[in-house]
Amino acid sequence: MPPPDEHAILLKVLAVIAASVPFALYWMSMRRPRAAVPPPVRDSIWDAPAPPPLPPPPSPAAGSWWERRDAWFALVLAGIVAGLMGPLASLGMTPADGGAVKINFTPVFFAAQLLFQAALVAIVVAYLKVHRRFNLVTIFGFKNLTPLRTVGTALLWIIPGFFAVILTGGLIVVLLKQLTGMEMPEQMIVQSARQMTDPATLAMLGLTVCIGAPVMEELIFRGLFFTVAARYIHRHYALLASALFFAVIHNNLMSLVPLTMLGILFGIAYERTRTLAVPILMHTVFNGIQFLYLLYGDDLQKAAERLL
């Protein structure tokens, strides 16, 4: 029996996420009791009391989810992100010989990646500024914690989380290889980074993975998708669905479970602190450690072997 196809599995996960949205909405509408007097509905997806950290879902009498522009904006953006990133974007890119897709990683390539990340951030920020009248301080929650507490909280969460994710990832790779016989290749960018020697390319790669990706992905997956899903469906669904979406967009089966765990950790940190600065910094630290390991991991391993 041939091993399952990595790309097909990721596409199925993405399809399950998309199909779960209407099912979860219907299920919650059936469970949610109708109030005789509907509670006031807040106009802002970020305007939440403390506690609880998130606004309660609107009652059925207060208007359906499809009448809310926040929900529509999140769904449309989800479609855009799914179409431009992850397994859906790679449909039809497989060469005729069945080999791996070859991408020429240059400073121009990573500059285009940064522009793409900046464009998605600009779309979300523009929507929130124009339709929700938020400023950047409100959007990112910079007033909720002092800079020192933001850094301390992010490190307190990400240091144990990093080791848990790495250990889980290693265990998943071993189990999948034993159970399915699948070879679990790393992400293409990870494989290619080890062969990069051009300083300009490495610098642009560092900016992309340590600044561009954390800001874009946390604003979209935690700041928007998680918040909207938690408001209109349920926080547990929001944590899992946004984390799975975040993981599958990276288009690598080996990292699916570890990145899902990481996405849940980011979501909980955002929910607890009510500031996107914390998960953004956590994401930056995580990616930064990975980036430094790609650059200097072989040298560190050789140095450790000499000491033993």
Of residues 181 and 88, more confidence is placed in: 88
- What pLDDT, on a 0 to 100 scale, did the predictor assign at position 185? 67
| Residue 158 pLDDT greater than 70, yes or no | yes
* pLDDT tens-digit readout, 102-118: 677 888 989 999 999 99
The answer to whether position 253 is within a domain reads yes
- Inside any domain, residue 270: yes
In a domain, 49, yes or no: no
Q: What is the pLDDT of residue 231?
A: 84
Residue 288 has what pLDDT?
Answer: 94
Q: Identify the residue with better confidence: 172 or 243.
A: 243
Answer yes or no: is pLDDT of 92 > 60: no
pLDDT, mean over the chain: 79
Q: Which domain holds residue 226?
A: 74-91+104-296
- Cα separation, 227 vs 296, whole angstroms: 38
Among 164-173, 193-202, 203-212, top mean pLDDT goes to: 203-212
Range among 92-106, 135-149, 198-212 rated most confident = 198-212
pLDDT band at 101 (very low <50, low <70, confident <90, very high): low
- List Cβ<8 Å contacts ≥24 apart for 238-243: 238/267, 239/264, 239/267, 239/268, 239/271, 240/264, 241/17, 241/20, 241/21, 241/24, 242/267, 243/267
Tell me whether residue 129 is in a domain: yes
Q: Give the per-residue pLDDT at 49.
A: 34
Residues sharing a CB contact under 8 Å with residue 238, sequence separation 6 or more, in sequence order: 225, 226, 227, 228, 229, 230, 267
Q: Per the structure block, which two tokens stand in for 47? A: 């305007």
- Total count of domains within the chain: 1
Q: Comparing 70 with 275, which gets the higher pLDDT?
A: 275
In percent, the amount of the chain with pLDDT more than 70 equals 74
- Provide the terminal-to-terminal Cα distance of the chain, rounded to the nearest Å: 43
> In this model, does residue 148 exceed pLDDT 70?
yes
Q: What is the pLDDT of residue 123?
A: 94
CA distance 85 to 1: 30
Residue range 23-43: mean pLDDT, rounded: 60
Asked, for residue 6, whether it belongs to a domain, the answer is no
Q: Is the pLDDT assigned to residue 1 strictly greater than 60?
A: no
Q: Is residue 83 part of a domain?
A: yes
Band (48; pLDDT cuts 50, 70, 90): very low
In a domain, 80, yes or no: yes
| Secondary structure (H, E, C), 215-261 | HHHHHHHHHHHHHHHHHHCCHHHHHHHHHHHHHHCCCCHHHHHHHHH
Torsion of CA 282, 284, 289, 295, to 10 degrees: 170
In which band, very low, low, confident or very high, does the pLDDT at 176 lie, cut at 50, 70 and 90?
Answer: confident
User: How far is the C-alpha of 305 from the C-alpha of 210, rounded, in Å?
Assistant: 29
CA 201 – CA 106 distance, rounded (Å): 6
Report if residue 23 sits inside a domain: no
Q: What does the pLDDT look like over 215-263, one tens digit per residue?
A: 999 999 999 999 889 888 888 999 999 999 999 999 888 888 889 999 9
Task: Pick the closest to residue 260 from 250, 272, 274 (CA basis).
Answer: 250
State yes or no: pLDDT of 9 exceeds 50: yes
